[in-house]
């Protein structure tokens, strides 16, 4: 299906395109009358959600039709009580991380070769606290973050580990003490960024070597997301932003809730879930729009995680896999050059989106002008206006 986004040229002023907001429309795709998925992840043409105890898994290749299982049940037995808090998909693998389960084991499970297997186990009855909180995939590497595990003998620092999903290694990091933790991690703009307690921010290009960044805040940061040339990290009413993952500044956020999970998706949107069945979104990183609250007959719907897949956002929680309406794959803005002889057009694309910029002199007959690859994030185009005025639009595919 072809989708189009247009831009009308108005001389002597900056013009921009306002997109219809599919985030105002959400549909519950949950395939059962009971259930509580607590984590969701997407990649490899698959989106998958997991129940708290790892005994149920929901999957979809379209985002609209979800099935219980879908071939992803093998190896799930014997993990009752394990709370899944994060999922990542990539490189032909699915990684699930979480908090203590049966016999105080804290586990990482990886689906590979048609079977789930425990690929990391810490504790096994000797630990009073500790958990893996989130996991991200990028550049062929999985990175999981969490807290230091307390044993009878000495603390075990696994606040940040990375690997290929089968083998894992704890990484040496600074700024996270015995009582500290990392709560969120993302891969975007070509790098990993992890955030946590006391405003800790860490950045890495490979998942192995990490640099501590000055966040400008001592508040706990719950989550982070990156894409479209920027990173946003949020806590309870606190937001910081960076263009390179290393230099951060506070943001005077408007209407920001206590977002617990955040993801970057279509055309520059960041979307997060918050307590009370609330979903929030922002396109400029400053003004946040609330969607919801979403409710059940018994009260507010608990939402735990959010992902982006094939043009829509997905929020999961109690009896819920909420899919947003279609989000614009591209946004366009334009500026006239000072001499008014040329027009600079800036196109922002969703991750992996492809399209074509078309031109017309009458809005009826359109011709292809430029090709777009959304993987680059931003595209700047220039058009000569000395001979004719034109209309512009983006079509996809």
pLDDT digit string, tens, across residues 213-259:
999 999 999 999 999 889 999 998 899 999 999 999 999 999 999 99
pLDDT digit string, tens, across residues 84-113:
899 999 999 999 998 765 545 567 889 998
Please calculate the CA angle 29-58-309 and round it to the nearest 5 degrees: 65
pLDDT of residue 322: 96
Copy the structure tokens of residue 266: 């279509």
Over residues 31-54, mean pLDDT? 88
Q: Express the helix, strand and coil content of the chain in percent, nearest 5 each.
A: 5, 50, 45
Distance (Å, whole) CA 6 – CA 17: 7
pTM > 0.85: no
pLDDT of residue 319: 93
In the β-sheet with 278-282, what is the strand arrangement from edge to edge? 261-264, 270-274, 278-282, 289-291
Nearest to 118 by CA among 103, 140, 137: 103
Nearest to 5 by CA among 324, 356, 371: 356
Nearest to 381 by CA among 370, 390, 391, 373: 370
Domain architecture of the chain: domains with CATH: 27-324 (2.130.10.10), 330-396 (2.60.40)
Distances in Å between the Cα of 164 and the Cα atoms of 130, 138, 161, 208, 236 are 22, 10, 11, 11, 32
Nearest to 172 by CA among 180, 187, 154, 160: 160
Distance (Å, whole) CA 297 – CA 354: 41
Lowest mean pLDDT: which of 58-62, 145-149, 359-363, 378-382?
A: 378-382
Distance (Å, whole) CA 160 – CA 144: 6
pLDDT of residue 253: 93
Reported confidence tier of residue 13, pLDDT bands at 50, 70, 90? very low
215 CB-near residues (< 8 Å, 6+ apart): 195, 199, 200, 201, 221, 233, 240, 248
pLDDT at 388 over 90: no
pLDDT digit string, tens, across residues 113-137:
888 888 887 655 444 456 789 999 9
**Residue in the structure block whose two tokens are 């309870």:** 236
Distance (Å, whole) CA 274 – CA 348: 27
């Amino acid at each position: 299906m072809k989708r189009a986004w247009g831009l009308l040229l108005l001389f002597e002023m900056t013009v921009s395109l306002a997109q219809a907001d599919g985030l105002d429309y959400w549909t519950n795709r949950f395939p059962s009358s009971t259930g509580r998925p607590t984590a969701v992840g997407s990649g490899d043409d698959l989106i998958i959600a997991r129940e708290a105890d790892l005994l149920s898994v929901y999957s979809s290749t379209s985002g609209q039709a979800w099935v219980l299982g879908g071939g992803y049940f093998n190896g799930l037995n014997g993990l009752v009580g394990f709370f899944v808090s994060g999922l990542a998909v990539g490189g032909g693998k699915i990684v699930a991380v979480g908090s203590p389960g049966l016999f105080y084991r804290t586990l990482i499970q990886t689906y590979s070769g048609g079977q789930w297997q425990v690929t990391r186990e810490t504790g096994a009855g000797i630990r009073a606290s500790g958990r893996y909180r989130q996991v991200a995939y990028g550049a062929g590497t999985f990175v999981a973050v969490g807290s230091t595990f307390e044993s009878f003998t000495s603390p075990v620092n696994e606040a940040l580990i990375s690997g290929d999903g089968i083998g894992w290694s704890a990484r040496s990091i600074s700024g996270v003490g015995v009582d500290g933790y990392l709560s969120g991690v993302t891969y975007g703009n070509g790098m990993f960024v992890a955030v946590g307690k006391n405003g800790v921010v860490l950045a890495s290009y490979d998942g192995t070597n990490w640099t501590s960044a000055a966040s400008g805040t001592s508040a706990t940061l719950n989550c982070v997301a990156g894409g479209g040339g920027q990173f946003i990290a949020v806590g309870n009413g606190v937001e910081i932003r960076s263009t390179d993952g290393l230099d951060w500044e506070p943001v005077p956020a408007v209407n920001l809730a206590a977002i617990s999970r955040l993801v970057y998706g279509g055309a520059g949107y960041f979307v997060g879930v918050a307590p009370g069945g609330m979903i929030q979104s922002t396109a400029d990183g400053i003004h946040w729009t609330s969607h919801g609250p979403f409710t059940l007959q018994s009260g507010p719907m608990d939402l735990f995680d959010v992902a982006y897949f094939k043009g829509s956002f997905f929020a999961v929680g109690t009896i819920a896999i909420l899919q947003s309406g279609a989000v614009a794959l591209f946004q366009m803005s334009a500026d006239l050059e000072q001499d008014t002889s040329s027009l600079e057009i800036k196109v922002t694309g969703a991750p992996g989106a492809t399209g074509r910029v078309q031109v017309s002199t009458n809005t009826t007959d359109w011709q292809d002008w430029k090709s777009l690859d959304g993987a680059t994030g931003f595209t700047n185009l220039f058009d000569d206006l000395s001979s004719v005025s034109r209309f512009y639009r983006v079509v996809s595919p």
